[in-house]
Structure 1
Amino acid sequence: MNMAIASGAALSLGQAQAAADALAAVLPTGAPLTPLLHTGEAFAGRTGNAVVASFVGAVSADLAVVLLEAPALVDDGADGAPVVALQDVLQPALESASDTFGAGVLDDARVEDAAELFSDPSATVFELTGPAGVAGWFAVRGRGSLDRPAPTSAIAGKLARISNVEMALTVEIGRTRMAVRDVLSMEPGAVIELDRSAGSPADVLLNGRLIAHGEIVVVDQDYAVRITKILDAAEELD
């Protein structure tokens, strides 16, 4: 899914600010960053190493974030390659920003030049400021309307075009948060405690979005999941 070339429908300032606040809250930077509206006539930031992603849902949007200093995990390892790719480190922050738009799907983040997005008059650009000043920038551009959803027949026609597209379905039995030092110190036999008790339903996610709950079963010696509840859009956002 590539970033749109044409100018998009502008998001309200409130929508853009909510997305920027959500992104800044989970950016993996050493110090917390505050998004401030960029009021200059033209954006002059470095956009060649921007991490961008596109969101499709009730409203569609393009998002891009640039950090002047890469997070620690992106530093080169012993073999000269990054420990973790920049787009993988910033994907959760972009997901947090896109969550403010409601139900939808965010594609995988990628690194590319986002000069077109940052210079688009319909995009809203924020300076990500920290104790030492500007640490990066965030841009968001709407490509849909929250007020005038497409007719049901039009939506059905568009969905028919992608009905054969394969998507990743994931079953999640729990989560936890760990410090990087604890992850690096793991060895075979280590036990990781999850945030869910035994017997609790598993989450079923489509491309990272929660769509259902189920229970783990065994079918012909293979693990499977029996769906117990399908979530609608409102429940998915709770």
Structure 2
Amino acid sequence: MTTITHLEQDVVATAQTVADLLPTSAPLAAGQVMSLDEAASSIPQDAVAAHAEVLGAQAGSVVLVVDRDLATALADSPMGPLPLVDALRPALEALRVALGVGALGQVMETTAAGAVDLLRGRDCTIVPLQGPEGPAAWLAVFAAQPAAGAIAAAAEERPASPAGMELLQDVVMELSAELGRTTMTVRELLSLQPGAVVELDRLAGSPADLLVNGRLIARGEVVVVDEDYALKITELISSTLPDNA
């Protein structure tokens, strides 16, 4: 009897979203979970891959392998060569959700063999993404499980120090305001012209998001101050910052 883990369930649930974000000419469909040996035998030797570490409560890594046809199409894009790591990053961001709340680290490119070596010896979940002529991509996730009680022990040995936060007060953080998001295919992207309207996933009048290094911390309404756009905070999402920060 095979035991299905929570991580495997989350990866399978996320697989189709990842498939929809890959810039392919034909739609891809998530297949059945496979073993590393099965994946290694089905991945072409000339395939390429992108992978990144995920930092968060449940750390781990996410990997996307794509066939050479997709990599070639990206290199010959009418918009100019699209780096593989940039083209696959949105799909890796979607795959990251399988590990829970976290942040995607630097995305790196590797070969098919390099991706297999990265997964070997790991308790990973691998799902193929099927195209019209068979698997065209493979996604994989593995979690880095700390030793039992390691996190609690580390917290007891090194309690938080108020001085530690003071040392960080002059660190520069990137703040950005986001009105909304959308997804589109490469075909739709290439068809954009001056005057085109891109519909976002947010109703008119809805508050904009305020993000710090990509993390949502507040929402507010867009206002104009001295002829510059500004965001008037109406809701705080995170309460982790100290009152005097």
TM-score, normalization by structure 2: 0.70
- Equivalence for 2:242: none
Structure 2: 5+ residue stretches without partners: 240-245
- What is the DSSP-based 3-state SS (H/G/I as helix, E as strand, rest coil) of the residue aligned with 1:94? helix
1:1-238 counterparts in 2 under 5 A? 13-27=5-19, 28=22, 29=24, 30=26, 31-38=28-35, 40=37, 43=40, 45=43, 46=45, 49-68=48-67, 69-70=69-70, 74-77=74-77, 81-82=80-81, 84-112=82-110, 113-119=114-120, 121-130=121-130, 131-145=132-146, 150-151=151-152, 152=155, 154=158, 156=160, 160=164, 163=168, 166-232=172-238
- Judging by fraction of residues, say which structure has more helix: 2
Structure 2 vs 1, CA of residues 165 and 98 (structure 1 numbering), >3 Å: closer, same or farther? farther
Alignment partners' CA distance in 1, 2:70 and 2:147: 34
Deviation readout 1:135-170 (Å, 9 max, x if unpaired): 33333222245975834565847xx59946655432
Shift of 1:47: 8.6
- Compare 221-230 and 145-154 and name the one that shifted more: 145-154
Match of 1:7 in 2: none
- 2:134 maps to a residue whose letter is G
Amino acid at match of 2:59: S
Deviation at 1:72, TM superposition (A): 8.0
Unaligned ranges ≥5, structure 1:
1-11, 234-238
The TM-score normalised by the length of structure 1 is: 0.71
Q: For 1:138, what is the secondary structure of its paired residue?
A: strand
Task: Give the superposed CA RMSD.
Answer: 3.6
% identical equivalent positions:
35
Stretches of 4+ aligned residues off by more than 6 angstroms: none
Residues 202 and 127 (structure 1), Cα distance of their counterparts in 2 relative to 1, 3 Å cut = closer
Greater C-alpha Rg: 2
Inter-partner Cα distance in structure 1 for 2:124 and 2:109: 20
Query: What is the alpha-carbon distance in structure 2 between the residues aligned to residue 107 and residue 189 of structure 1?
Result: 36
Give the length in aligned residue pairs: 217
